[in-house]
């Protein structure tokens, strides 16, 4: 009686795979949210983005290959949705961001009062300053900083998620960090004035 | 401190150095300069601590519990 699996058996096996996929995906939601929160411009936008990402992931779970990087797969959906939204919402071309040299922020902070050990000079910045400064970094650069410096993705993964060459990831990351430091240095000047 | 070539060059190498993407030779070059230049060393140490600090700053906001529930509700019900 060895026949091909019945429809019922096949459906049961597929249901098990789907449940496993959904549970694994939900287990990564904190990490997905953390990236979304800083890619999007507001908390509300991040909430929407995460929900849209999961709705799409649950619908197209069959296109995920088990055993591959599920976090990268989810974030690829998320960044694509975010880029589409950005295109829709962008009313005016973004200003050319101002960059500073890599040592600029340190030199600026060294002029202010606070801890003097170089590994504690950073504490002269408030954590709110950092969150605000990051939100001021234009999207193209922020996406890469969020994926690599906060999401712990390799250059290769970030390139794949964003659909850009690895060299572009590296140059955007380096420029993006300089833009972020410039924004932070500006926040120091504003507080000091 | 004048921005003579060695320190300006060291500044250029800072990000790739901390990202571990310099060649062995460039790595040695950067380390030799850092061994003798406190001015650059301080700035490298600061950059390293800044990266950790940025990550801490942006990771402290937890995902709202309500959003977690909404995501769970998006699961496709079994027939």
CATH of the domain at A167: 1.10.10.10
Of A129, A121, A128, A126, nearest to A103 by C-alpha is A121
- Contact A153/A147 with Cβ under 8 angstroms? yes
| pLDDT tens, position by position, A71-84 | 999 999 999 999 88
- Contact B18/B43 with Cβ under 8 angstroms? no
Is A111 part of a structural domain of the chain?
yes
pLDDT exceeds 50 at position B1: no
Looking at the structure, tell me whether residues A85 and A141 fall in a common domain: no
Domain boundary among A89, A122, A138: A89
- Tokens coding B31: 């380390």
From A193's Cα to the closest Cα of chain B, the distance in A is 23
Could you give the count of Cα atoms lying within 13 Å of A148 in the half-sphere of its Cβ?
26
Please give the share of chain A, as a percent, with pLDDT higher than 90: 55
Looking at the structure, tell me whether residues A81 and A108 fall in a common domain: no
Q: Which one of B20, B30, B43 would you mutate to disrupt binding with A, by most A Cβ within 10 Å of its Cβ? A: B43
Cβ neighbours of residue A137 under 8 Å, at least 6 residues apart?
A97, A145, A176, A179, A180, A183
Residue with tokens 């411009």: A41
Could you state, in order of their start, the residue ranges of all structural domains in chain B? 5-73
pLDDT exceeds 70 at position A65: yes
pLDDT at B2: 42
| pLDDT tens, position by position, A110-150 | 888 777 777 788 888 998 899 999 989 998 899 999 999 98
Is A59 part of a structural domain of the chain?
yes
Is A182 part of a structural domain of the chain?
yes
Q: Which one of B21, B33, B44, B58 would you mutate to disrupt binding with A, by most A Cβ within 10 Å of its Cβ? A: B58
Of A48, A60, A75, nearest to A150 by C-alpha is A75
| pLDDT tens, position by position, A82-113 | 988 876 665 555 667 777 889 999 998 888 87
Helix, strand, coil content of chain A in percent (nearest 5) = 75, 0, 25
How far is residue A165's CA from residue A158's CA, in Å, rounded to a whole number? 9
More confident residue, B25 or B79: B25
Looking at the structure, tell me whether residues A142 and A77 fall in a common domain: no
Alpha-carbon distances, residue A127 vs A67, A134, A164 (angstroms): 37, 11, 31
pLDDT at A192: 61
Looking at the structure, tell me whether residues A140 and A112 fall in a common domain: yes
pLDDT exceeds 70 at position B24: yes
- In this structure, the number of other CB atoms found within 10 A of the CB of residue A78 comes to 25
pLDDT at A76: 92
Looking at the structure, tell me whether residues A80 and A13 fall in a common domain: yes
What's the whole-number mean pLDDT along residues A58-66?
94
| A121: containing domain | 104-192
pLDDT at B28: 95
Three-state secondary-structure class, residue A138: coil
Looking at the structure, tell me whether residues A132 and A179 fall in a common domain: yes
- State the pLDDT confidence band at B4, using cuts at 50, 70 and 90: low
pLDDT at A24: 96
Looking at the structure, tell me whether residues A109 and A144 fall in a common domain: yes
pLDDT exceeds 70 at position A1: no
How far is residue B47's CA from residue B14's CA, in Å, rounded to a whole number? 8
* Interchain proximity A118–B45, CB inside 8 Å: yes
* Mean of the per-residue pLDDT values of chain B: 89
* Mean of the per-residue pLDDT values of chain A: 88
- State the pLDDT confidence band at A28, using cuts at 50, 70 and 90: very high
Alpha-carbon distances, residue B64 vs A119, A135, A178, B21, B68 (angstroms): 32, 20, 31, 37, 7
| CB-nearest partner of B53 from A11, A47, A122 | A122
How far is residue A181's CA from residue A122's CA, in Å, rounded to a whole number? 11
How far is residue A85's CA from residue B24's CA, in Å, rounded to a whole number? 43
Looking at the structure, tell me whether residues A115 and A171 fall in a common domain: yes
pLDDT at A54: 97
- In this structure, the number of other CB atoms found within 10 A of the CB of residue A150 comes to 21
- Cα angle B42, B48, B51; round to 5: 140
With an 8 Å Cβ cutoff, is A37 touching chain B? yes
How many domains does chain A fold into? 2
Looking at the structure, tell me whether residues A138 and A74 fall in a common domain: no
Looking at the structure, tell me whether residues A129 and A170 fall in a common domain: yes
Is A95 part of a structural domain of the chain?
no
- Tokens coding A55: 């709705």
> A127 contacts in B (CB within 8 Å)?
53, 56-57, 60
């Amino acid at each position: 009686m060895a026949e091909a699996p019945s429809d019922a058996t096949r459906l049961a096996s597929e249901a098990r795979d789907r449940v496993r996929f959904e549970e694994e995906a939900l287990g990564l939601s904190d990490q997905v949210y953390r990236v979304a929160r800083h890619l999007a411009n507001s908390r509300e936008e991040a909430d929407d983005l995460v929900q849209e990402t999961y709705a799409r992931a649950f619908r197209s779970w069959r296109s995920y290959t088990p055993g591959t990087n599920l976090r990268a797969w989810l974030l690829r959906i998320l960044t694509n949705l975010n880029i589409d939204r950005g295109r829709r919402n962008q009313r005016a071309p973004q200003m050319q961001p101002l960059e500073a040299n890599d040592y600029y922020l340190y030199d600026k902070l060294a002029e202010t009062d606070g801890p003097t050990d170089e590994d504690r000079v950073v504490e002269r910045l408030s954590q709110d300053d950092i969150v605000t400064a990051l939100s001021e970094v234009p999207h193209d650069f922020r996406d890469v900083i969020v994926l690599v410096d906060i999401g712990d993705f390799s250059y290769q993964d970030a390139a794949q998620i964003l659909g850009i060459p690895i060299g572009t990831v590296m140059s955007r990351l380096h420029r993006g960090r300089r833009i972020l430091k410039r924004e932070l240095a500006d926040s120091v000047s504003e507080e000091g004035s | 401190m004048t921005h003579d070539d060695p320190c300006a060059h060291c500044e250029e190498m800072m990000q790739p150095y901390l990202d571990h993407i310099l060649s062995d030779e460039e790595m040695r070059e950067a380390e030799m300069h850092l061994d003798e230049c406190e001015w650059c060393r301080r700035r490298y140490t600061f950059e390293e601590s800044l990266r950790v600090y940025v990550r801490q700053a942006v990771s402290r906001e937890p995902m709202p519990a309500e959003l977690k529930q909404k995501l769970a509700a998006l699961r496709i019900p079994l027939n």
